Amino acid sequence: MQIYLDDTVLRLKAVMVTDPVEKGLFKAMIGLMHTNKGIGLAAPQIGLSLRLFVTDVKGDKPRMFINPTITDYSDDTCKKSEGCLSVPGVFKDVERPARVKVTATDLKGREFTLECGGMLARCIQHEYDHLDGILFIEKAR
C-alpha cells in the first residue's frame, strides 16, 4: 500500500527496527519503487512507521538501510530537482550536502558504513528525511 501526502504516518518520527526484517519486505518495497519509477522508498511511504528504506540508484545495487544514521555530511552542497512517490507529479529544487556517510544494518543483520556522493547521497538524504517525518517539499527553495 502506497501512502500519500495527506497521511499522518508521513509526518511521524519512525521507530527503530527491533525485529529481523524479512526479505519479502525488501522485495515488495523494491518492486513498488520500480513500478512507480522511483529510486528510493522509505517504510513510512508504505504505512510502516519503521526506520528503514530501500534505494536502487543507477550505478549502484538495490540496498536496504535498516536503522540508518547519517554520521557525516560534506560542507559542499548541490541543488537539484527532486520528486517523491508520496507527492506525485511535484518536483522542486532542493539543496543538499553533496556527500554523506551513513551507517546502517543490512537484511542479514550486519552493520555497514557507506560513503557516497551524487544521486545515491541525495536519495539517502531524501529517504532518511522520511524517517524523521520530513518531506522534500519542506526543504525546497
Active site residues: 127
Report the largest interatomic distance among the alpha carbons of the chain, rounded to a whole angstrom.
39
How far from 78 is each of 74, 93, 97, CA to CA, in Å? 10, 10, 6
**C-beta contacts of 41-44 below 8 A and 24+ residues apart:** 41/85, 41/127, 42/14, 42/127, 42/130, 42/131, 43/14, 43/131, 44/3, 44/9, 44/10, 44/12, 44/14, 44/130, 44/131, 44/133
The count of C-alpha atoms lying within 13 angstroms of the C-alpha of 21, restricted to the half-sphere facing its C-beta, is 25
